Amino acid sequence: MMSNHGNRITQGQFSYLPDLTDEQISAQIRYALKNKWALGIEYTDDPHPRNTYWEMFGNPMFDLKDPAGILIEINNCRKTFPNYYIRVTAFDSTAGWETPRMSYIVNRPKKEPGFGVARTEGPGRQISYRVHSYATDKPEGERY
Amino acid sequence: MAMVKERSSADRYKAGVIPYKTMGYWEPDYKPKDTDVITMFRITPQPGVDHEEAAAAVAGESSTATWTVVWTDRLTNCDVYRAKAYKSEPVPNTGPGTKTEQQYFAYIAYDLDLFEGGSIANLTASIIGNVFGFKAVKALRLEDMRIPVAYLKTFQGPATGIVVERERLDKFGRPLLGATTKPKLGLSGRNYGRVVYEALKGGLDFVKDDENINSQPFMHWRDRFLYCMEAVNRASAASGEVKGHYLNVTAGTMEDMYERAEFAKSLGSVIIMTDLVIGYTAIQSMAKWARKNDMILHLHRAGNSTYSRQKNHGMNFRVICKWMRMAGVDHIHAGTVVGKLEGDPLMIKGFYDTLRDTHTPQNLETGLFFEQNWASLKKVMPVASGGIHAGQMHQLIHYLGEDVVLQFGGGTIGHPMGIQAGAVANRVALEAMIMARNEGRDYLREGPEILNKAARWCAPLKSALEVWKDITFNYESTDTADFVPTATGSV
Amino acid sequence: MSNATEDPPAAAVEINLEAEFAASNIQEVFDKLERELVGLVPVKTRIREIAAMLLVERLRKRLGLTTETPTLHMSFTGNPGTGKTTVALRMADILHRLGYIRQGHLVSVTRDDLVGQYIGHTAPKTKEVVKRAMGGVLFIDEAYYLYRPENERDYGQEAIEILLQVMENNRDDLVVILAGYADRMESFFHSNPGFRSRIAHHVDFPDYGRDELLAIGKLMLDRQNYRLSPGAETAFGAYIERRMKRPHFANARSVRNALDRARLRQANRLFAAMGQPLSRDALMTIEEQDIRASRVFLGAPKDKGAA
């Protein structure tokens, strides 16, 4: 078990708060829609801090007016991948941004073993570090 | 405004001393070109010196003039090289009947060919090189500059920028959290790394060396780097997040700085830092190095208050913001509004807009005298540091927005339950406030209530709110807006 | 101690229907509908009835007399050009003002927007449309084209199944309005009883009469700063009578097309008279000859649409 606050991976905007309810998730989606951002749902069983490309649960959704449609997809994704990490990402296409503006986790595995640090001693006192996910010792799809 | 009497060129170049105004440095009809660099100075003329003459003198001394007429001017296309003062107007609330002696805002235009591309050193050697010691003015302050797009395009700009920094860190939609390791001086490398580890594991994104942590007898820089990176990697594994520590590479020579930066890179650090006191050229060099090595470059504005704080002399910090965005830093300390250091809310908004916007319109209230198109130069992340704590989270987000690093040094390390708890308190307060803001709540007004509600399930936050509940720094700012009806005090 | 002293008597709960109505601002929508659409009295009456019911339903919910979200899906039947889309837009507005939908927008689609060409294409397409309509009204024009019994592997069936599911499970999130010709809609409901059972309100849009169409035409012209001369008005009345008997008659839409062509002829007429002074009045006026030049007035009716 992870030993940090909440004993869990703390990526995303709201990992230090209690798990978001569907109403809270919808309120955050509403904020993104108000800003005309597109919303994508992504899932993974390899939450390494530098794993940028989680799998997309369909393309990002553009031009929507109401959170309900996105919540349906989030729940579909949860149903399909109940023991994966799932995050909602909001994409801003305006000049000067053209990048995600929000990202928060809406689903996580029941047990989160976390990561270890592997050290390789180099010359002098130098060490090369590798952050290693315990879960990825197992093949894809069998990790959590 | 009085028209200058025409002089024949034979008169103009007769040997001797003639007023700057009649030498061609005062041109009230001049319309600045899109490619001109424009400056705005606050001038306090010496008693008896006409303000237009003072403006012309500043234009002259910051471009081609010397104290006497030289015939060699006539070998040049000197009309182009002469800076032109084209407007001088009294500063509101100065002069007779006020507490301040009469000041003027003088607008001066410089042709693009006066400057070397891509060199802050050259730009500043011209604009602020000699003129501040000039006797005809009692005091002089560079308030603002309009940099033409053509000139901006000769600069690299921020090595990483807000967008790419966030993408690299995988952190979106909230301010980043940092802290400066305390005490500033005396910790051994091993002890120092302990503070870094605790704060990062607790929930901060960054920890930072202070400006004067370089390589002193108590801690050689290599020791610090080695132990800090152990701490960073451990904390990254403990949280599953990208974490960083700004390793200060400031040193006595460029060679030493490069050596330290290379070592930081070899250890896998995402970010290094340096201090404003290393000089503009050294900063530009480090920015180029950072771009080449995928490194975020943090800048501590050490020393700036020696010339930016007093209202009548020196230069406004917003000009430093502009130069540093051109020079290519990714972070710069730019004020907190609510903390212990100087900072009027409107002025600080002006600094933040200058660092972060793709285009800043003229806004006299926030001290932005010129419209500025940033020509796609990346955005600089402002850093708010000094005397801030979790209980001010709603005010910080309200004044500073979400693209900012909030540095809670004392507010993390001084937590009664320990450093990790201090970091947890800050992170919980931040996330709760961002969530409330996004939900459309009036978070500035309801801030204390939102924090208290989160504190009900988060003991570290409860304790932080209790300990620092009465801490505010209420002093009048010295650098305030000239164009607001009533002065805005520090909050 | 008696209960009567603790519980307020039922009559004491003040319910001010008038205030509720005023607060909802739906009168504005009725006024707008009145301005936009000539005649259509039965439709307007029906819309008022539905609005009244929804308002009362809202009150009942507030007092705990009901807990269910009512079914709000509707069918609008009638010939082309009878105002179905306009009324649907206003209906979205009313539902929004009464709090039955969150956003109040209208997404208008036909079979092509919902049904794909290949296997696996239809579900994402339909879901995409449904997501866009969330919080608003999904208006499906000529809905019966979704069902093609002659082709047993038609992908329309897939769209129908998704729509039925959404109409049941997401009643809080969106309202579906099916629109089209009355007879075809009837047989569609007959073969798809699932739809019929989920539709709460049927609204029938009658054809316009000659005088209504004339009034519509004058309203259209007025908005564009044109007017009919007295002769032109008589001629246009005659035009409408003839046009109504011809094939492909589409009510208000046919009137608009006829007037577009009359404006074209007016411009040509003015152009041909170039050189003479031109008054503001002349620029605004459609003359009898601009109407009479229509092919509708030529000889025996042909089976092509009017030109």
- Give the model confidence (pLDDT) of A57-87 as tens digits: 999 999 999 999 999 999 999 999 999 999 9
Q: Which of A11, A16, A101 sits opposite B427 (nearest CB)?
A: A16
pLDDT band at residue C107 under the 50/70/90 scheme: very high
Does the pLDDT value for residue B6 go beyond 80?
no
Does the pLDDT value for residue B18 go beyond 90?
no
At residue B136, the pLDDT reads 86
At residue B134, the pLDDT reads 83
Does the pLDDT value for residue B73 go beyond 80?
yes
Which two tokens mark B114? Answer: 């006066």
* Unique residue bearing structure tokens 């509403």: A30
Amino acid occupying residue B238: A
Q: What pLDDT digit, counting tens, does each position of C115-167 carry? A: 998 888 999 999 999 999 999 999 999 999 999 888 878 899 999 999 999 99
**Listed range (A5-9, B32-36, B447-451, B470-474) with the worst mean pLDDT:** B470-474
Q: What pLDDT digit, counting tens, does each position of B421-461 carry? A: 999 999 999 999 999 999 999 999 999 999 999 999 999 99
Q: What pLDDT digit, counting tens, does each position of C52-83 carry? A: 999 998 888 888 888 777 889 999 999 988 99
Write the CATH number of the domain with boundaries A22-113.
3.30.190.10
At residue B484, the pLDDT reads 62
Closest CA of chain A from C167, distance in Å: 13
What mean pLDDT is predicted for residues B180-184?
A: 90
At residue C302, the pLDDT reads 47
Does the pLDDT value for residue C299 go beyond 80?
no
- Just list the catalytic residues of B: 182, 300
What mean pLDDT is predicted for residues B394-415?
A: 94
Q: Indicate the domain borders of chain C.
A: 10-205, 210-297
Measured between beta carbons, the chain A residues lying within 8 angstroms of C167 are none
Does the pLDDT value for residue C267 go beyond 70?
yes
pLDDT band at residue B337 under the 50/70/90 scheme: confident
Chain B interface, Cβ < 8 Å to A: 163, 166-167, 170, 172-174, 201-203, 222, 226, 229-230, 233-234, 236-242, 266-268, 357-358, 376, 379, 420, 424, 427-428, 431-432, 434-435, 438-440, 454, 457
pLDDT band at residue B341 under the 50/70/90 scheme: low
CA distances from B70 to B27, B43, B52, B288, C295 (A): 21, 26, 22, 40, 90
Q: What pLDDT digit, counting tens, does each position of C170-229 carry? A: 999 999 999 999 999 999 999 999 999 999 999 999 999 999 999 999 999 999 999 999
Closest CA of chain A from C175, distance in Å: 13
Do the Cβ atoms of C135 and A65 come within 8 Å?
Answer: yes
Query: What backbone phi and psi angles, to 5 degrees, belong to C125?
Result: -65, -50
Does the pLDDT value for residue C256 go beyond 80?
yes
Closest CA of chain A from C134, distance in Å: 5
At residue C103, the pLDDT reads 93
Chain A interface, Cβ < 8 Å to C: 58, 61, 63-70, 72-73
Which two tokens mark B355? Answer: 């660092």
Class of domain C210-297: mainly alpha
Does the pLDDT value for residue A6 go beyond 50?
yes
SS3 per residue for chain B: CCCCCCCCHHHHCCCCCCCHHHHCCECCCCCCCCCCEEEEEEEEECCCCCHHHHHHHHHHHCCCCCCCCCHHHHHCCHHHHCCEEEEEEECCCCCCCCCCCCCEEEEEEECHHHCCCCCHHHHHHHHCCCHHHCCCEEEEEEEEEECCHHHHCCCCCCCCHHHHHHHHHCCCCCCEEECECCCCCCCCHHHHHHHHHHHHHHCCCEEECCCCCCCECCECHHHHHHHHHHHHHHHHHHHCCCCEEEEECCCCCHHHHHHHHHHHHHCCCCEEEEEHHHCHHHHHHHHHHHHHCCCEEEEECCCCHHHHCCCCCEECHHHHHHHHHHHCCCEEECCCCCCCCCCCHHHHHHHHHHHHCCEECCEHHHCECCCEECCCCCCCEEEEECCCCHHHHHHHHHHHCCCCEEECCHHHHCCCCCHHHHHHHHHHHHHHHHHHHHCCCCHHHHHHHHHHHHHCCCHHHHHHHHHCCCCCCCCCCCCCCCCCCCCCCCC
Q: What pLDDT digit, counting tens, does each position of C173-184 carry? A: 999 999 999 999
Measured between beta carbons, the chain A residues lying within 8 angstroms of C106 are none
Does the pLDDT value for residue A98 go beyond 90?
yes
List chains adjacent to chain C, taking adjacency as at least 3 C-beta pairs closer than 8 Å.
Answer: A
Measured between beta carbons, the chain B residues lying within 8 angstroms of A131 are 233, 236-237
The residue of chain A with its CA nearest to that of C132 is A64
Q: Which of C102, C131, C136 sits opposite A61 (nearest CB)?
A: C131
Averaged confidence pLDDT in chain C? 88
pLDDT band at residue C306 under the 50/70/90 scheme: very low
Q: Indicate the domain borders of chain A.
A: 22-113
Q: Does C170 touch chain A (CB under 8 A)?
A: yes
Closest CA of chain B from A132, distance in Å: 8
The residue of chain A with its CA nearest to that of B241 is A49
**Listed range (B168-177, B260-269, B434-443, C5-14) with the worst mean pLDDT:** C5-14
d(CA B6, CA C302): 87
- For domain C10-205, say whether CATH 3.40.50.300 is its number: yes
At residue B383, the pLDDT reads 97
More confident call, C68 vs A142: A142
Are A and C touching by the rule of 3+ CB pairs within 8 Å?
yes
